[in-house]
Structure 1
Amino acid sequence: MNFKTRTNFKQSFFYFFCIFLCFSFSITAQNEVKKDTESTKVEESEVISLDQISNEAEKLGQRIFSLRTILKPSTDVKTVDSLTVLAEIEILKSKDSIVQLFDSINSRELRSVKVLWKKHHTTLKGYQNTLKDRSENISEINEELVDEFNKWSLTKTTLQSSNSSKDVSESLDKVIKNLQDITNLALQRLDDVYLVQNKITNLLLIIDGLNAEIDQVEKNIKRDYFTVDAPPIWKLNKITESDNANLELAAENSKKGFLTELNKDIQQLKVYLSSRIGALTSQITLILLLVLIMFKVNKSWKTEEELTNPIEREAKTILKHPLSASLVVGLLISAYFYGGLTSFFREIHILLVLISTIILLPKLTTQKFRTTLVLFLVIYLENLSELYISISELTARLIDIAVTVLLIYALIKGRKVIKQNPSAFQRFNKLFLFISPIYILLLVFSIVINCIGMVGLSNFLYQGIFISALFSVVVYLIVKVITGLTVILFKLKKTSSNIQTLSTMVNVTNQRLQPTLYWAGFLYWIYFSLIGFNIYEDLLAWVNEILLIDWKVGEMTISLGGVLAFSTIFIITLLLAKLAASIFQDDWVINTLPRGIAPAISLLLRIIVISIGFYIALSAAGIDLSKVGFIVGTLGVGIGFGLQNVVLNFVAGLILAFERPVNLGDVIEIDQEKGVITNIGVRSSNIKTYTGAEAIIPNGDLISKKVVNWTLTNRDRRSRILMKTSPNADPEKVIELFNTIANENEFTFKDPAPKTYFYGYNVDGNLDFALMYWTTFSDTLSADNDIALKLFKKLKEEGIDAPIPTRKIIK
């Protein structure tokens, strides 16, 4: 494009842009005038005509009667009011007792307090939503009544100016009086709702203030980690007589203290579960459902001959331990039903999951790993016992050191077993072998700082490492159990006629589902590790602060969170689109669905997923699509000139998806390129030629140009071998010979049978024959080669000479 052409294009585009702006402003002005006209008409139409007053009054009376029913004192509002009063008493009472404990509260008790106050907050929010629905309903009624009041008042004023009768005026006064009464009733009900909402708002403010104090106490506890909060351990061996007396008294009260603390936790658990009956029922139902499914599949899956795949063997092992498998998966998944667990309830969950892991994981990997898991259980039980038994500071610190040494031994033992059996811990072995030396060094460091008096930091490291190491094996087991459950579901639908399909689905689970689950499990383990080190909430708050950083670009505000949200959602969208599309490109899906359906679904899925993901990503970035619509439309005009071919190829891709003139695996010939279609994309398609090259063909060419598809409806192909013999050969003998050789070939079809045609003498005086037969496209070259070789040998054996070319030289 020369300079003059470019200048003309720019001028044309500028003129078009100006015309488009003028057109847009003119339409806007017309719309404004139209709106003003319509508003005037509406105002005029609000006056009720004299002949319609009777009918309209009757309709209004019926409506007022129904509104009086709606505006009766709400049972929901009364219930919320009474519950709010009870909640207020409980909150104020609990607030005073908790504030007094802030000076001596530990991390475990603080966690339980946070969960309970979160429950109060959630409950009050639920009450608030109930009242919000009621207030919105009453507000809508009030707006309706105000409109009716204005309409009837305007009618009265209009009719008075036209000297209407006294009866009409009295009837209008009566209607307006009824409207005033029902409006006052609506306002009264609205005031009742607002009073209860005000109570709830005040309670929420109290809860928010207390949560702020709890957060501050938690920060103070974390800040104390890096201070020397106890004397060195070698100075604790000097026990005085008063200390001995205290120890004896502590020993006498140990049993009583244990029962008191345990009973306190049990009572707290009862109160907690009483408000979450639905979540508890759902949890138990989920676990029982998993157990029943496993029992049913195990009953119908008896033969050991089917266990040819490692995943199938793992699934069979899981079926033999249905309760353990159900507890591992069911407890961890259903724990999120509660929206937060109290410390005691959380500890029960972990204990049950750990016991189930000890039973099941060694059977899926190796029995030698059971020692490590049992050591984890011993350590966990010791941690629980410290919560209920009172002991001296020296004894407590010595036990902590001993348990830390035990955890180091457990990690070393587990590392050794995994190193000896890497195949039994696929994908998990690299993670464990990487983190275990780091954790061992940190545990040695925690022993050292415990001895010198930094007990808080020592316990912080020990607890975090233990939770992280424990949940690494638990999450690994969960991945194996979920994979096994997937295979179990396939077995649940198994019939004798689809064993091959079942085997294919199992292989797909191994190749696609399990790696995805391992990545998800890795993220899940990171989440548990952050919680174990008690830094998850701090990290989340820090990330949220960073994401709030924003920049002003004109009238648009761009935040770092919006950019990251856009990038993350769009990347996840691309990955999901690729995953969804690749599933329909697998051989088992292509062979299961009708020909061409799988590639079409794959292409459409890519387009749909990417389009939806792009829209969601823009919304997540905080971009108002309604405000950028004009810009997008204007740019679309300019971009359209330069991207016509791209749009053409995109539309052609959609046509290919619906019409399916070519499919994956088809052998086509276009523009002197011949090969197999390996991919049908949104813009272009790939053809792998028989020379080994990859040809990229725009989709538009596949629609607009001549395409020879050798395998569209079937893969049968007719081959032809031309043969010449000397003039003295017997044609009938040659035909019989050719047909026999072709029929004997393993690749040729018997129906239609091979046929040989005799064409007589050619210009050189020789005899021409053509052997024709049908083969499968992929066997054509092999059949042609084998038949040609046998024809050559057979003609030689029969003494039938090939013609000798003769050339005459004319002077």
Structure 2
Amino acid sequence: MKKPILLLLLIALTSSFVLAQKAPPRAVDTTLFGDNNQATRSDYLAGFEKVFQTMNKVPLVTSSFTRVQDIQAHLKDADSILEILKDRFAGNDKSLNIRNLQMYQSLLEELDNTMNEFGKVLNGYDQKLDDVRKEIRDLRKDTLMRGLFRDSALRATFIPQLQTLRTKFRRADSLVKANTAILNDLKAKVSTDAIVIEELGYQTEEALKTAGGRAFTKERLFLWEPVTAQGRRPPPGGFKKSVNAEQQLASYYFRNTRSKRSLLWIIGIAFFVWINYNFRSLKKLNKLSAIKEFDFKYVKALPWLMTCVLILNLAPLFDHNAPAIYIETTQFMLMVLLTPVFYKILPRQIFMGWGLFMLLFLFLPIIRVLGLPIRLMRYANVVHDLVAVVIGLLYIQIRSFRKEYRLMWWAVILYTFLNTLAVLMNIFGRVTLSQIFSATAVYALAQAASLSIFVQLVIEAFLLQIQGSRIRKRYPEHFDVADIKKSLFRFISVLAVLIWAIVFSTNLNIYDAFSTGLKALFQASIVIGSSSFTIGGVVLFLGIIWIANFLQKYIAYFFGDIGDDAAFDDKGQRSRLLVTRLILLVLAFLLAISASGLPVDKITVILGALGVGIGLGLQSIVNNFVSGIILIFDRPLRIGDTVEIGSKKGRVKEIGIRSSTLLTEDGAEVILPNGDVLSKEITNWTLSNNNARINFNYKVAKLEDAATVKQELKDLIAANDQVMARREIEIIMNFVSATVMSVRIAFWCRDIMKVSVVEAEINNAIYNYFEQKGIVTQ
């Protein structure tokens, strides 16, 4: 411990005071002040003020050590956690749970980060104390105050100031001593804990490696072999101690990893507000009937239940190494929340299977909490896994389940297979593998069921947003949702598969190895000539570009613009969306370059060379290339569209970077350069829909009851299932002469590919009608 400088200053001042008492009174040596003028009373008071300010800094500085108590409390909790972990590893427990080992690893990483943070904070506090000590040390160089202490006559005139100085000095000395001792103790404790954390980290990593290798060896006796007397009973008090330790570890884990779940809660709150806002706006406009055609099953005006479902489904993305009790609790809560939903939508037989699965789900944690002897626990696990296999086999054979719930049928097959492996591993003494397969089976099936609801929930939420925006902007209520659902389903399914894969691989204890392998692959440097890059950088570049393309493509949906005729008149929004898309793509490109680590100077050289190439005659190639990118991103035509480009008409078969292919009605394939495609007028009959307008014109003799004929013709046309009922059938009758009338009929066909058939059917039906009514046509 450093010797407090305040004590040295007090001894120096006291010595000066004693010497001054023995020496005869004398005038002040004015040469100490650097000039020939004698110091005045105000000079001495200014000197006292300077000393007082320095002394007053000590309590101000020490009062800024606001985190000392918090660090002390955290270190106390950390000590208890480290003792538990040391006890766990010192016991050499062969059945140490892999899930808990992963949690220990995550917890030790968090503790290591905490200790590093505490070390920085304490070093900052110590630096502040050193600065104060330095200022106090510099007071001894003040010749003005040293002269005052040597002169008894001067001291007598400043007795109140000297008494105040003594009081402040004692207080400052006490604070510096106490805080120096506290900081030194805390720094030593942080250093000690950091060493222990590092050692436990090595042990945890080694235990995980050992557990992975040991899982394939015979850890326990075969299930039919007799057990020794020592292994029949657990040690007295061991169960209670183990449960308390688990609770303490889990409690500390969640207290110190709250930041991991902050974003998750923000997403949940934002989702609730989003859904509630759309329902309230529709209710305010008295347009709740506009969403009835969607038949929402999960999205409600107050989506408390579905918000919880969303949060619990996303939880594995934010904390995949959480304790087993956390995974079990969140998954069971999710299953409980989904039970009333499944009760409404599932057939009774399938719902009974869900209830049996929930009972089996609860069986595993109950066995673990009871603290049964290892042999009895193995028998209980075998019974659980066998019952799961039997139930799985029964439901696999149900044809209706296989036909209507294809995804869940495959999940049940996986569930049955993993439980079968768990039974075999348990019987032959591979207890760790048995536990891994059994837990993975349960969580894989539960997660598959909940994620199927998650996908539909997010799709319904986006459809609600689209319809709400359209109603608020006074667009038509009806729109084609099939393509929108398909696009949303693909994107959200990717996220759902990612979540399921994380849960599945974590339970199989291959997530860390898999992620480490991917990191090594993506971080490997590849050198081509004088340029170097990583696979991860390229993947990141392409990923950012892909996400940006998806966002610019579907951002209009969020504002109710799905590309139909409804938003054509809203030119302001279309212009804003166009600028937004352009900015989004440019920013994404710049971000992708920055995030991927690709050398900007090399890209600049390539762009420069490309510019020279364009000037030397590559205009046509570059024109086709850029046009191909525009066609891909802007999508004025898509594969399968029926289009007219110049004099060519047909269906789009392929869109490439350089050229596109049309398939004509005669079966010919016409290859058009992309530059020519964009330079010519494009008529796309199926850009926003597959509808086509059909027109008929007739001349008939004067009709006596034109209104009745008009209505009967409308009914006749509407009877065809290919005629769109939402669009009004137009029939206009005009006199051409006193005895002749013209009849103009217009209606919409659902599918442009069936226009010829519909034209023939309705034209024949109209002529038959005229013939039956005796109407003469000309």
CA distance in structure 1 between the partners assigned to 2:413 and 2:121 by the alignment = 52
Cα pair 2:459 2:489 within 8 Å, conserved: yes
Paired amino acid for 2:601:
S
Does residue 469 of the first structure (1) align with residue 415 of the second (2)?
A: no
Does residue 458 of the first structure (1) align with residue 421 of the second (2)?
A: no
Which residue of 2 is the match for residue 431 of structure 1?
A: 410
Does residue 120 of the first structure (1) align with residue 102 of the second (2)?
A: no
Cα pair 1:116 1:342 within 8 Å, conserved: no
Q: Say which of 511, 532, 544 aligns to 2:486.
A: 511
Q: Deviations over 1:298-339 (max 9, x none)?
A: 997999998976x62523xx6599655343222233565668
CA distance in structure 1 between the partners assigned to 2:378 and 2:519 by the alignment = 38
Q: Deviations over 1:363-421 (max 9, x none)?
A: 3333322333333333332221233323233312211111110221232234234x323
Which residue of 2 is the match for residue 421 of structure 1?
A: 401
2:295 alignment partner, SS class? helix
CA distance in structure 1 between the partners assigned to 2:655 and 2:514 by the alignment = 44
2:218 alignment partner, SS class? coil
Q: Say which of 370, 375, 378 aligns to 1:389.
A: 370
Which residue of 1 is the match for residue 89 of structure 2?
A: 102
Q: How do 1:18-57 and structure 2 match up within 5 A?
A: none
Cα pair 1:679 1:687 within 8 Å, conserved: yes
Cα offset, 1:594, TM superposition: 0.8
- Which residues of structure 2 form unaligned runs of 5+? 1-53, 127-182, 686-691, 715-728, 750-754
- In structure 2, the CA distance between the partners of 1:654 and 1:557, relative to structure 1 (3 Å rule), is closer
Q: How do 1:51-66 and structure 2 match up within 5 A?
A: none
- In structure 2, the CA distance between the partners of 1:455 and 1:602, relative to structure 1 (3 Å rule), is same
CA distance in structure 2 between the partners assigned to 1:496 and 1:224 by the alignment = 63
CA distance in structure 2 between the partners assigned to 1:777 and 1:567 by the alignment = 46
CA distance in structure 2 between the partners assigned to 1:285 and 1:581 by the alignment = 21
1:551 alignment partner, SS class? strand
2:616 alignment partner, SS class? helix
1:558 alignment partner, SS class? strand
Cα pair 2:451 2:496 within 8 Å, conserved: yes
- In structure 2, the CA distance between the partners of 1:360 and 1:621, relative to structure 1 (3 Å rule), is same
CA distance in structure 1 between the partners assigned to 2:636 and 2:419 by the alignment = 66
1:626 alignment partner, SS class? helix
Q: How do 1:618-629 and structure 2 match up within 5 A?
A: 618-629=593-604
Paired amino acid for 1:428:
L
Q: Deviations over 1:15-65 (max 9, x none)?
A: xxxxxxxxxxxxxxxxxxxxxxxxxxxxxxxxxxxxxxxxxxxxxxxxxxx
Cα pair 1:687 1:694 within 8 Å, conserved: yes
Cα pair 2:624 2:675 within 8 Å, conserved: yes
Q: Deviations over 1:641-667 (max 9, x none)?
A: 33313555688899999x999999999
CA distance in structure 2 between the partners assigned to 1:675 and 1:421 by the alignment = 42
Does residue 478 of the first structure (1) align with residue 461 of the second (2)?
A: no
- In structure 2, the CA distance between the partners of 1:471 and 1:84, relative to structure 1 (3 Å rule), is same
1:521 alignment partner, SS class? helix
Paired amino acid for 1:523:
L
Which residue of 1 is the match for residue 384 of structure 2?
A: 403
Cα offset, 1:599, TM superposition: 9.7
Greater RCO, CA 8 A, separation 6+: 2
CA distance in structure 2 between the partners assigned to 1:384 and 1:312 by the alignment = 38
CA distance in structure 1 between the partners assigned to 2:262 and 2:606 by the alignment = 53
Which residue of 2 is the match for residue 591 of structure 1?
A: 565
CA distance in structure 1 between the partners assigned to 2:562 and 2:191 by the alignment = 59
Cα offset, 1:633, TM superposition: 0.6
Which residue of 1 is the match for residue 41 of structure 2?
A: none
Cα offset, 1:278, TM superposition: 7.2
Which residue of 1 is the match for residue 217 of structure 2?
A: 227
CA distance in structure 2 between the partners assigned to 1:708 and 1:486 by the alignment = 31
Cα pair 1:76 1:130 within 8 Å, conserved: no
2:297 alignment partner, SS class? helix
Which residue of 1 is the match for residue 537 of structure 2?
A: 562
- In structure 2, the CA distance between the partners of 1:716 and 1:679, relative to structure 1 (3 Å rule), is farther
- In structure 2, the CA distance between the partners of 1:283 and 1:114, relative to structure 1 (3 Å rule), is same
Q: Deviations over 1:462-506 (max 9, x none)?
A: 2223322232222223223333444555677796997962x5375
Cα pair 1:361 1:477 within 8 Å, conserved: no
CA distance in structure 1 between the partners assigned to 2:599 and 2:124 by the alignment = 28
Does residue 312 of the first structure (1) align with residue 302 of the second (2)?
A: no
1:589 alignment partner, SS class? coil
1:233 alignment partner, SS class? coil
Cα pair 1:80 1:127 within 8 Å, conserved: no
2:532 alignment partner, SS class? strand
Cα pair 1:676 1:687 within 8 Å, conserved: yes
2:370 alignment partner, SS class? coil
CA distance in structure 2 between the partners assigned to 1:488 and 1:708 by the alignment = 32
Cα pair 2:625 2:658 within 8 Å, conserved: yes
- In structure 2, the CA distance between the partners of 1:128 and 1:100, relative to structure 1 (3 Å rule), is closer
CA distance in structure 1 between the partners assigned to 2:188 and 2:664 by the alignment = 76
Cα offset, 1:634, TM superposition: 2.7
Which residue of 1 is the match for residue 513 of structure 2?
A: 538
Q: Name whichever of 515-524 and 606-615 sits farther off.
A: 606-615
Q: How do 1:372-387 and structure 2 match up within 5 A?
A: 372-387=353-368
Cα pair 2:401 2:409 within 8 Å, conserved: no
Q: Deviations over 1:535-587 (max 9, x none)?
A: 1011111222233333333432233433444555556666667x549979x99
| Identical residues among aligned pairs (%) | 18
How many residues of Structure 1 are paired with residues of Structure 2 in the alignment? 621
- In structure 2, the CA distance between the partners of 1:222 and 1:582, relative to structure 1 (3 Å rule), is same
Q: Deviations over 1:152-202 (max 9, x none)?
A: xxxxxxxxxxxxxxxxxxxxxxxxxxxxxxxxxxxxxxxxx9x99999899
Cα offset, 1:231, TM superposition: 1.7
1:328 alignment partner, SS class? helix
Q: Deviations over 1:714-749 (max 9, x none)?
A: x9999999xxxxxxxxxxxxx998999x99999999
Q: How do 1:720-799 and structure 2 match up within 5 A?
A: none
Q: Say which of 358, 364, 368 aligns to 2:345.
A: 364
- In structure 2, the CA distance between the partners of 1:635 and 1:109, relative to structure 1 (3 Å rule), is closer
Which residue of 2 is the match for residue 63 of structure 1?
A: none
CA distance in structure 2 between the partners assigned to 1:339 and 1:210 by the alignment = 21
CA distance in structure 2 between the partners assigned to 1:77 and 1:646 by the alignment = 68
Which residue of 2 is the match for residue 52 of structure 1?
A: none
Cα pair 2:290 2:467 within 8 Å, conserved: no
- In structure 2, the CA distance between the partners of 1:222 and 1:691, relative to structure 1 (3 Å rule), is closer
Which residue of 1 is the match for residue 155 of structure 2?
A: none
Cα pair 1:483 1:509 within 8 Å, conserved: no
- In structure 2, the CA distance between the partners of 1:334 and 1:98, relative to structure 1 (3 Å rule), is closer
Paired amino acid for 1:456:
T
CA distance in structure 2 between the partners assigned to 1:207 and 1:604 by the alignment = 53
Q: Deviations over 1:74-128 (max 9, x none)?
A: 8998445665566556556644552342143522443442343233244456668
Cα offset, 1:531, TM superposition: 0.9
Which residue of 2 is the match for residue 162 of structure 1?
A: none
- Which residues of structure 1 form unaligned runs of 5+? 1-67, 136-192, 722-734, 757-770, 801-811
1:408 alignment partner, SS class? helix
CA distance in structure 1 between the partners assigned to 2:277 and 2:263 by the alignment = 20
